[in-house]
Structure 1
Amino acid sequence: MLTVLLGVCLVIVSVAMLLQATARRRRPGEPPLERGPLPYLGVALEFSQNPLGFITSRWKKYGDVFTVRLAGHYTTFVLDPHSLTHAIRNSRVLDFRLFSLELGSRAFGTTNLYGTSRDWIRVDSDALYHKELQGQNLDKVTDVMMGNLQSAMLAATDVQQEWNRGELWAFVYRIMFSASFNTLFGRHLEDRDETARLVHSMQEFQKYDKRFPEIISNVPWWLLGHTRKHYEYLKSMVTPAELCQRGVSEFIRLRQEIYTDGNLSADEKAALNFGTMWASLSNTVPAAFWTLYHLLKDPVAMAAVRAEVDQLLKETGQSLENVKEGGKIIHVTRQQLNDMRCLGSAINEALRMCSASIIIRVATEDAELALESGSTFRIRKGDRVGLFPGFLHMDPEVYDDPETFKYDRFLEDGEEKTGFYKNGRKLRHYLLPFGHGVSMCPGRFFALNEIKQFITIVVCYFHMELLEKQTPAMDQSRAGLGTLAPLKDCLFRYRLK
């Protein structure tokens, strides 16, 4: 027994010595380096528990630029808000696709088309975001979404009682999932159990999405319980055979034509469609929840948004009474939504407080990068450069009292406020919930439209009140992936106007 223990101790000591001997050391010109206490993971455990707290503590220790080992990768964070563009604009040596392709392959099973003879499929399908989900081309999708939101909202609520009790996160999730899925992928043309099927799909999506941080961290599938089954079921919802039976949006229809012209297999198409499904829901639902939550918690904010909605209905001759009597729906155009400055400011404020994305670039070679000040730092091939917008969003010099929700923070004289300052200088980029530069979310206009429509319809149809005073904590396990969901649900009550 003693011999075995001595052998184990010798192995542990040998491994420790090997790791120490081969550990990365800071070279001249490189930022301050923190390898962390754990092999491979580095500082990942501390970071995952409180990302903003971790970043803030290292900023105080090292300054605006530092490197840490984070889940097997060395990531150099750049925190100077004036240098965000400077730090990542060198596209020759900094590539965002390497990271996104790795994530897509692991999470959705997508095939890497970049740099291959089939890369045109990726280019052409991505171009459809601008063609179908931005500007005036978004009008048709907005009209469809309005109808789907109202159908989903009334189907998800018991409007027979004067007051109804429910859980706010569950309420928002069910409505947004159903409306968003039906808007993009269409309703089934024959299935009479479509509502029940969508509810089941939502439950499968929630279970899968809960394990998403582990999935993209390359945790083996066999350690993730039934996650692989959830993944396969969700892909089955968007296979080519399934979509042929649904009234899909023009955006999805055109993408399927491109995939077919590119001779993608049925499984490759389903994987890409699943990626689109996840992207359309994973961040939009939490953003809608927090916007509604903060409006309900702040009567002044809700009154301001409600007045804006009521004014729009008055100007367009619409009312809930007319909807009840005539069986019609509330109709608000994309342009009218854009003109609702108060609502837009409230959504931006919610996004400022709940977004926790990391903007990643991967170095394709050893390089020297410049900051806006003119100073430089070196990175190595394979390293990552990370921007953490959450640090900017919660900077008290940029945003006074950043922990407090202020619905009119992004308003100035009735128009959108764009003047935010750091070190006495106006910031070019002050709000980055959808990423930055070439990797900025291409579906952001569709996502913002969904949230605006959701809040507008809620305000039109319901009176709501929170039944809990304590604001739920955010689920930090999703830090780096976008908007954070609540760690637990909260009770509320509602009644039809």
Structure 2
Amino acid sequence: MVTELLGVCLAVVLVFVLLQVTTRRRRPGEPPLEPGPLPYLGVALEFSRNPLGFITSRWKKYGDVFTVRLAGHYTTFVLDPHSFTHAIRNSKVLDFRVFSSKIAHRAFGMPIVYGTHRDWVRADSDALYPKELQGQGLEKVTEVMMTNLQSAMLAATDVKAEWNKGELWSFVYRIMFSASYKTLFGRHKEDEEETARLLHAMEEFQKYDKRFPEIISNVPWCLMGQTKKRYEYLKSMVSPTELSQRGVSDFIRMRQEIYADGNLSPDEMTGFNFATMWASLSNTVPAAFWTLFYLLKDPVAMDAVRAEVDQILKETGQSLETVKEAGKMIHVTREQLNDMKCLGSAINEALRMCSASIIIRVATEDAELALESGSTFRVRKGDRVALYPGFLHMDPEVFDDPETFKYDRFLENGMEKTTFYKNGRKLRHYLLPFGHGVSMCPGRFFALNEIKQFVTIVVCYFNMELMEKQTPPKDQSRAGLGTLAPLKECLFRYSLK
């Protein structure tokens, strides 16, 4: 009994000492500090349950700048949208690539080349984005995606009666996964089981992606069931050996040439390819889902988008009937996609409501950072500075009635609306679903085109109705990683036109 009591007392003393050692005290010039109730985790549990609610409550308590301990890291949030650029523009002391390189190494097996003599490999491969997925090359990849989307969509629909029932999330995921993978990594030259293989890969990718928050939090592989096995399988889908059997896009082909010139091992090449695969799917698929869901939920919005699509087709002499008679497919160019301002607004509205990215920089030294107002705050070496655009996206001062989907919120006189205000002043940055600065997604133009193409094809080929109008809850465990996925399926019915 005495021994057990001494053991308990010793444990209490150790916990007390640990708290004293790890508890941080606010220094002059630093923002308000909340270390949280739990050692190491800090406020992580409360944050993960409701990120927007947590951020809002601390904003009311502390103001636009505050520091919390979040899963072992002291993170300073900056919430004033006028100060977003000011807060993170000091690239000399605020680093993104060291932080992101560690995550990519853990999640995809990417080699850490940043800061080494091999960093030119990363820089040269990243330099392909403006040419191949933003500039002139986007025209070609858009055309390939259009064909792959239509093939995948028609193959994924088993029409046995006038109306067919389905699950919307699964419907979107299957089509987008197949089309996106084939557009970037090509079709297999000989595999007759390509469709079944891609379906299996999609299922494994979904399960792997579901564990992504744990993966990047360095939870041991042995505690995550079959996750490591799925990691190895998905890498095999984009290995140099696999890609040598596929007609890959110019973008991927040129990247492979850069990797070869850099003497990367096959496994290192695979790591880069796996990261590209994940980036092309993890946010685009849920963004496409929410866009389609909200359009189906709002008949006025769907009618407006349908009218825009019909007008584009009419201008090019296309209709579903003539296309079917000729045995061809609907064709919409990159320029025509750019002209779809109504659909673009609907996509932006879906992203505003459902994206939950966190833009993070890591301080490489003790530093004083400036806000737009001229005031400053101090951070310590190793601290994280974070922007949470979701707080801006749901700000009723910036976006009236932010909980309601308004398909034309980003439309003004038939053009894209870019004038939004905070504190009576025009915002430079009002919508940030793809990050900001050096961490902005380089494939964002390709992603937006994919979503526009997907909705366009749905409108052309199908009649669709939701069988339940209640909006499914969002998976908050993915807060910080981009667009949130639905937590449950949504039943719908459809028929071919």
Alignment pair present for 1:153 and 2:153: yes
Q: Structure 2: how far apart are the matches of 1:491 and 1:338?
A: 31
Alignment pair present for 1:324 and 2:285: no
Alignment pair present for 1:178 and 2:166: no
Q: Structure 1: how far apart are the matches of 2:21 and 2:299?
A: 60
Q: Structure 2: how far apart are the matches of 1:20 and 1:30?
A: 20
Checking the alignment, whether the CA contact within 8 Å between 2:22 and 2:39 is kept in structure 1 is no
Checking the alignment, whether the CA contact within 8 Å between 2:98 and 2:114 is kept in structure 1 is no
Deviation at 1:109, TM superposition (A): 1.1
Q: Structure 2: how far apart are the matches of 1:334 and 1:494?
A: 28
Deviation at 1:324, TM superposition (A): 1.8
Alignment pair present for 1:203 and 2:203: yes
Please identify, of 317-326 and 63-72, the stretch whose mean Cα deviation from structure 2 is larger.
317-326
Deviation at 1:15, TM superposition (A): 2.2
Per the alignment, residue 119 of structure 1 pairs with 119
* Superposed counterparts of 1:99-114, under 5 Å: 99-114=99-114
Q: Structure 2: how far apart are the matches of 1:127 and 1:396?
A: 38
Per the alignment, residue 346 of structure 1 pairs with 346
Q: Structure 1 pair 303/142, CA: closer, same or farther in 2 (3 Å)?
A: same
Q: Structure 2: how far apart are the matches of 1:136 and 1:351?
A: 26
Deviation at 1:159, TM superposition (A): 2.6
Per the alignment, residue 75 of structure 1 pairs with 75
Q: Structure 2: how far apart are the matches of 1:9 and 1:213?
A: 36
Please identify, of 89-98 and 292-301, the stretch whose mean Cα deviation from structure 2 is larger.
89-98
Consecutive aligned runs of 4 or more in structure 1 exceeding 6 Å deviation:
none
Q: What SS does structure 2 have at the residue aligned with 1:215? A: helix
Alignment pair present for 1:496 and 2:490: no
TM-score, normalisation: structure 1: 0.99
Alignment pair present for 1:415 and 2:420: no
Deviation at 1:322, TM superposition (A): 1.7
Q: Structure 2: how far apart are the matches of 1:260 and 1:411?
A: 46
Which whole-Å deviations, capped at 9, do the CAs of 1:256-306 have from their partners, x for residues lacking one?
A: 000001000000011110000000000000000000000000000000000
Per the alignment, residue 474 of structure 2 pairs with 474
Q: Structure 1: how far apart are the matches of 2:323 and 2:438?
A: 43
Per the alignment, residue 45 of structure 2 pairs with 45
* Superposed counterparts of 1:316-465, under 5 Å: 316-465=316-465
Alignment pair present for 1:254 and 2:241: no
Q: Structure 2: how far apart are the matches of 1:380 and 1:110?
A: 28
Q: What SS does structure 2 have at the residue aligned with 1:369? A: strand
Q: Structure 1: how far apart are the matches of 2:5 and 2:204?
A: 46
Q: Structure 2: how far apart are the matches of 1:381 and 1:480?
A: 22
What's the Cα RMSD here?
A: 0.8
Deviation at 1:18, TM superposition (A): 3.3
Per the alignment, residue 193 of structure 1 pairs with 193
Which whole-Å deviations, capped at 9, do the CAs of 1:7-39 have from their partners, x for residues lacking one?
A: 133223322233224411000000000000111
Q: Structure 1: how far apart are the matches of 2:193 and 2:12?
A: 58
Per the alignment, residue 238 of structure 2 pairs with 238
Alignment pair present for 1:14 and 2:50: no
Deviation at 1:469, TM superposition (A): 1.9
Q: What SS does structure 2 have at the residue aligned with 1:133? A: helix
Per the alignment, residue 133 of structure 2 pairs with 133
Q: Structure 1: how far apart are the matches of 2:127 and 2:14?
A: 54
Which whole-Å deviations, capped at 9, do the CAs of 1:327-377 have from their partners, x for residues lacking one?
A: 100000001000010000000000000000000000000000000000000
Between the two proteins, the alignment pairs up a number of residues equal to: 497
Alignment pair present for 1:163 and 2:200: no
Q: Which amino acid aligns with 1:215?
A: I
Per the alignment, residue 54 of structure 2 pairs with 54
Q: What SS does structure 2 have at the residue aligned with 1:465? A: strand
Q: Structure 2: how far apart are the matches of 1:313 and 1:370?
A: 50
Q: Structure 1: how far apart are the matches of 2:287 and 2:60?
A: 30
Q: What SS does structure 1 have at the residue aligned with 2:373? A: coil
Deviation at 1:117, TM superposition (A): 1.1
Deviation at 1:136, TM superposition (A): 2.6
Checking the alignment, whether the CA contact within 8 Å between 2:366 and 2:378 is kept in structure 1 is yes
Q: Which amino acid aligns with 2:173?
A: Y
Q: Which amino acid aligns with 1:69?
A: R
Deviation at 1:181, TM superposition (A): 0.2
Q: Structure 1 pair 241/27, CA: closer, same or farther in 2 (3 Å)?
A: same
Q: Structure 2: how far apart are the matches of 1:5 and 1:462?
A: 71
Q: Which amino acid aligns with 1:172?
A: V
Q: Structure 1: how far apart are the matches of 2:260 and 2:78?
A: 42
Q: Which amino acid aligns with 1:167?
A: E
Alignment pair present for 1:284 and 2:284: yes
Q: Which amino acid aligns with 1:242?
A: E
Q: Which amino acid aligns with 2:58?
A: R
Per the alignment, residue 86 of structure 2 pairs with 86
Deviation at 1:76, TM superposition (A): 0.2
Q: Structure 2: how far apart are the matches of 1:400 and 1:308?
A: 25
Structure 2, unmatched stretches of 5+, are none
Q: Structure 2: how far apart are the matches of 1:198 and 1:21?
A: 51
Deviation at 1:206, TM superposition (A): 0.3
Q: Structure 2: how far apart are the matches of 1:365 and 1:62?
A: 25
Of all paired residues, the percent bearing the same amino acid is 83
Q: Structure 2: how far apart are the matches of 1:450 and 1:332?
A: 12
Q: Structure 1 pair 52/315, CA: closer, same or farther in 2 (3 Å)?
A: same
Per the alignment, residue 268 of structure 2 pairs with 268
Q: Which amino acid aligns with 2:278?
A: W
Q: Which amino acid aligns with 1:345?
A: S
Q: Which amino acid aligns with 2:280?
A: S
Q: Structure 2: how far apart are the matches of 1:192 and 1:459?
A: 31
Q: What SS does structure 1 have at the residue aligned with 2:136? A: helix
